[in-house]
Structure 1
Amino acid sequence: MTLTPEQQAEIEEQRGTTRQTLRATSPGMEAHLYTAYPVLDHGLVRVIDYMGDDEAICQAARVSYGRGTKSVQNDEGLIRYLMRHWHSTPFEMCEIKLHVKLPVFVARQWIRHRTANVNEYSARYSILDREFYIPQPEHLAAQSVVNNQGRGEALSGEEADRVLRYLRDDAMRAYDHYEEMISDDGQQGLARELARMNLPANIYTQWYWKVDLHNLLHFLRLRADAHAQYEIRVYAEEICKIVADWVPFAYKAFEDYRMGGTTLSATALDCVRRTLKGEEITQENSGMSKGEWREFEGLMR
């Protein structure tokens, strides 16, 4: 990760300034505020602002039941109940605003989560930096033979060297032409909004991304999963660490019920019941397709 002296000075100034407030704060999140956490080779994640904590989730839930419920059910138990029964509104009471620096091809995957507010660095007004994501050799992999959108074995030897050389050389060449096209030294210079189309998808962009906790957890459930693409998964894993300190009760319940749990179809649940009764279940008598059965077997191992 590369931070300019100006960016580093801004972060130090922000972390060095304290303000009195009457609003609820999370000590765990206060420790993360403004700190830039490196991701990939030039990327970063940092918290710009947040609202709410575990208590805000409970407060929102209890407003439906009136006074007196606090003594009946503790905060952690209530949050686990809400997570277990797929309640959403109480978790929407918490929000977070992140500054993220990420490759464009990761951003295009990320933006598919349309439940956030986003403001991205504009290449129409500003000039993008000469920073590209170049994978580490261990992350260069062939196309998976069983998954049309996944990776297989890592490339090795001369093929890996050749691919890395292409990625570096093509990115640098495209940026050289980008700089040449927008230059006004002895020429009119192409508009930035047009010149940017020649840049590769591994160039870095930046944005502010604001999202409520309910939708953030949905993002993390998909993108921090072991099957997610590595380049977006590492961002999700970094955000997971932040959320765990921000709302520890909610994150613990999320790990238990969403990341560590699963949802069974009625057919799969019937197979579990039949197995517990001693019946031998096969794909042929399960009522499942081959794909469903393969996933079911993976869960039951």
Structure 2
Amino acid sequence: MPLSPEQKAEIESQRAGGERTLRAVSPGMEARLYTAHEVLDHGFVRVIDYMGDDAAICQAARVSYGRGTRSVQNDEGLIRYLMRHWHSTPFEMCEVKFHVKLPVFVARQWIRHRMANVNEYSARYSILDREFYIPAPEQLAAQSTQNNQGRGDVLQGEEAQRVLDLLRDDAMRSYDHYEAMLSQDGQQGLARELARMNLPANIYTQWYWKTDLHNLLHFLRLRADAHAQYEIRVYAEVMCEIVADWVPAAFAAFRDYRMDAVSLSAQGAAALKRRLAGEVVTQENSGMGAREWREFQEVWG
């Protein structure tokens, strides 16, 4: 299970103990604080701490004192203006710290976003648990024939079962050998920092990941996208729900101007104008490559 009874008891204790504060708080984030949201088969995401809210973004943009005297409607309008015109600094005034449990191969993809403070569970000092990510059958897919970093058709029947059996058997065998190397029963036992090299990339790790809202939204725009790898996308989708409760005006603007928006290259804009003028535009006379043309057609028909 993602959470042990001891971890659940600790979370309940954290949520039960409240402290009076003079700083601005977000009611939506207060409701989320410390709660573990389960992801994949053994993973989770939970908020450990945060700073700021929608009003903090506006306060920074106006460089005002206190929470200001502007109405919520004016604040929403300002936030939408800032998002629409790519003013990033006010969004950096909000920060959040997550506790994430995730497979190692997802962590290695995640860490490519070099805009956070990270502290990961150390397998040099501690022994990792026997917990591995094993995909659900519907997530077992062949290599895409059109995208070198994507998935194609879902594996079926005996082939799917063969892959699942290999994943489980390899993970368990590797962990058995890991324990055997660490064992001090009749031997000195290998150092933990060396024994860990034998573990597979689907074993679970944990970290604290702290970032500001601007960089978090950039992460979510890429990783909550339909084209992102499923195993990191499901984490991003849970984080989207959390951010929507934390800074609802900022997230609504982000969804409108980033996640659900469409951007065009100069060639794409020109092709669209020519189409609107009644001209027949093809890939050959559009100035776009095959992949860009295909993406253009997916949006504009």
TM-score (norm 2): 0.96
Q: Residue 2 of structure 1: CA displacement?
A: 2.6
Matches within 5 A, 1:18-29: 18-29=18-29
8 Å CA contact 1:132, 1:171 repeated in 2: yes
2:195: which partner in 1? Answer: 195
Q: Residue 191 of structure 1: CA displacement?
A: 0.1
Matches within 5 A, 1:173-252: 173-252=173-252
Which whole-Å deviations, capped at 9, do the CAs of 1:159-212 have from their partners, x for residues lacking one?
111110110011001001101101111110000000000000000000000010
Identity of aligned residues (%): 79
Structure 1 Cα separation of the partners of residues 205 and 144 of structure 2: 28
8 Å CA contact 1:98, 1:209 repeated in 2: yes
- The one-letter code of the counterpart of 1:146 is Q
2:30: which partner in 1? Answer: 30
| 5+ long unaligned stretches in structure 1 | none
2:94: which partner in 1? Answer: 94
Which whole-Å deviations, capped at 9, do the CAs of 1:33-72 have from their partners, x for residues lacking one?
00001000000000000000000001111128xxx99479
Structure 2 Cα separation of the partners of residues 41 and 78 of structure 1: 41
Matches within 5 A, 1:104-119: 104-119=104-119
1:103: which partner in 2? Answer: 103
Q: Residue 291 of structure 1: CA displacement?
A: 2.0
Question: Which SS does the other structure have where 1:160 is aligned?
Answer: helix
Structure 1 vs Structure 2 CA RMSD: 1.6
Q: Residue 73 of structure 1: CA displacement?
A: 7.4
Does 1:265 pair with 2:276? Answer: no
- The one-letter code of the counterpart of 1:278 is G
Question: Which SS does the other structure have where 2:10 is aligned?
Answer: helix
Q: 1:127 to 1:72 in 2, by over 3 A?
A: closer
- The one-letter code of the counterpart of 2:150 is G
Does 1:161 pair with 2:142? Answer: no
Question: Which SS does the other structure have where 1:23 is aligned?
Answer: coil
2:280: which partner in 1? Answer: 280
2:49: which partner in 1? Answer: 49
8 Å CA contact 1:62, 1:69 repeated in 2: no
- The one-letter code of the counterpart of 1:253 is A
Question: Which SS does the other structure have where 2:100 is aligned?
Answer: strand
2:254: which partner in 1? Answer: 254
1:132: which partner in 2? Answer: 132
8 Å CA contact 1:25, 1:53 repeated in 2: yes
Q: Residue 299 of structure 1: CA displacement?
A: 1.6
Structure 2 Cα separation of the partners of residues 271 and 69 of structure 1: 46
8 Å CA contact 1:91, 1:214 repeated in 2: yes
Question: Which SS does the other structure have where 1:188 is aligned?
Answer: coil
Q: 1:277 to 1:72 in 2, by over 3 A?
A: farther
Structure 1 Cα separation of the partners of residues 239 and 269 of structure 2: 33
Q: 1:71 to 1:137 in 2, by over 3 A?
A: closer
Structure 2 Cα separation of the partners of residues 134 and 287 of structure 1: 44
TM-score (norm 1): 0.96
Does 1:123 pair with 2:135? Answer: no
Which whole-Å deviations, capped at 9, do the CAs of 1:118-161 have from their partners, x for residues lacking one?
00000000000000000011101111111111001111111111
Which whole-Å deviations, capped at 9, do the CAs of 1:243-262 have from their partners, x for residues lacking one?
00000000001111111002
Structure 2 Cα separation of the partners of residues 71 and 124 of structure 1: 53
Question: Which SS does the other structure have where 1:112 is aligned?
Answer: coil
- The one-letter code of the counterpart of 1:154 is V
Does 1:289 pair with 2:299? Answer: no
Q: Residue 84 of structure 1: CA displacement?
A: 0.6
Question: Which SS does the other structure have where 2:32 is aligned?
Answer: coil
